[in-house]
Homo-oligomer: A and B are copies of this chain.
Amino acid sequence: MNENVEMDQQFEFLRRLLHEDKMAEFRDIFLDWHIYEQGQFYFTLDEKERHRLYTYLSPKEIADMFDVIEEDHEDMEDYLAEMSPRYVADMLNEMYTDNAVDLLNQLDKREVAKYLSLMKSKDAIKIKELLGYEDKTAGSIMATEYVSIVDNQTVRSALNLLKKKAQEAEIIYYVYVVSETNRLLGVISLRDLIVAEDDMLISDVKEERVISVNVADDQEDVAKTIRDYDFLAVPVVDSEDRLLGIITVDDIIDVIDDEAASDYSGLAGVDVEAIAETPLKASMKRLPWLITLLFLGMSTATLISHYEVLINEASILAVFISLITGTAGNAGTQSLAVAVRRLAISDDKDPGFFKLILNEVLTGAITGSVTGIVIFAVVGFWKHNYILGFVIGVAMFCAITVANLAGSFIPMLMEKLGFDPAVASGPFITTLSDLTSVLIYFNIASLFMGFFIGT
């Protein structure tokens, strides 16, 4: 709290320096801040203030800031639009390639082409290559600023190389050992380099069992590798084991965050990332989903209307519709969440598919039995009608078991069909489960119709 207040005062002071056009004093303070804080300040400025800022700072200084903040904001393209194209091109030149690519991916193709045409052709080619990788693959999030060395050199020359590369490399804590044709042969951590004698040969200190990821691997698999091995970075290779780039742990944190938010959004049937929206904008995004579910819900209503005669004869049946659909929906949501999570963390080795579904159905049968017995006793006692209790108990048992089946089967099916299983959202499962629950309930009730007439 105090730090925030202090920071606010500093922001205020710096803004005054901007207004009074005191460039030297401004630069003194601003460049002393951590780049993340520079970014936070940047976001508080209005357009006029930002225009002055661009005259104060070099494209390199803005690039350093954009390297850290590019993930934090949705409207980065608006900021680029207000700079001169030449300034943007120079800035993109200075940014780490992975971050420059993230930024360019937010723009439309014409804009991208314009900036690329203004960049140094060597950098432009590199970035064009990276832009070509499919979204959410290792290639799309890797950077090309790594440090590599051939292995007939000494530790001393490796350290000297690091000294030279330290400014531009995204991470200097691993040096990758490559062949003449850039094939990945090994890795040395800076830790090992520091401990080793200066005259030792790289070939003697390198670790040959180097864990790498393929450029086409899914970013979630890359995240798993970095997390499991506690790496700071992992090298990215092509199918012939040639080193193409590295992925660093800070990018992986963004991947983990994004995947978690998207799983969470899926379960709730809403994009939770878009939080600073106006009610109107939020409504526009939520309505298609709500209306779709409304029509799915209409089929449940239609189904119930087929049993209107039964309800007319025994209105007591209507009392328990929402109890059965609600409880089955809750159980189905539990199954869904377990299945989605299981799919997210499972390895290829996992036999999983049928076993998970079987487990969930068995779990449904057990929880369904217990819930069914409880509701049988409660309703029997409350309404003094144990046949009604029995009907509701049996319906509850069946509805929960089917909801668990649907909750585990549907995400599995999505996965098999190549969709993200997380899009099988909670609201979809509960609305679907409403339909099956009502069907089960009234069919069972029909069998006992004779008992209900007139109750």
* Residues of chain A having any CB pair with chain B under 8 Å: 1, 4, 32-34, 36, 68, 72, 159, 162-163, 166-167, 172-173, 190-191, 194-195, 209, 211, 226-230, 232, 249-250, 252-254, 256-257, 260-261, 263-265, 267-270, 272-273, 275, 278-280, 282-283, 286-287, 289-291, 293-294, 297-298, 300-301, 304-305, 308, 311-312, 315-316, 318-323, 325-327, 329-331, 333-334, 336-338, 340-342, 345, 347-349, 359-360, 362-363, 365-367, 370-371, 374-375, 378, 426-427, 430-431, 434, 438
Contacts and interface: CB of A to CB of B under 8 A. Distances in A.
Nearest to A274: B338
Q: What is the total number of copies of this protein in its complex?
A: 2
A322 B323 contact: no
Contact of A194 (B159, B320, B434): B159
A4 B36 CA distance: 40
Chain A, interface SS category? helix
B166 A268 contact: no
A290 B371 CA distance: 8
A267 B269 contact: no
Contacts of A359: 278-279, 282
A249 B438 CA distance: 50
A337 B320 CA distance: 28
Given A308-B315, A322-B321, A333 B434 contact: no
Given A290-B327, A318-B304, A4 B349 contact: yes
Given A249-B250, A268-B333, 19 more contacts: A33-B209, A36-B230, A166-B191, A172-B190, A172-B191, A232-B232, A269-B334, A270-B337, A290-B331, A293-B326, A304-B318, A308-B318, A311-B311, A318-B318, A322-B322, A322-B325, A322-B434, A333-B426, A333-B427
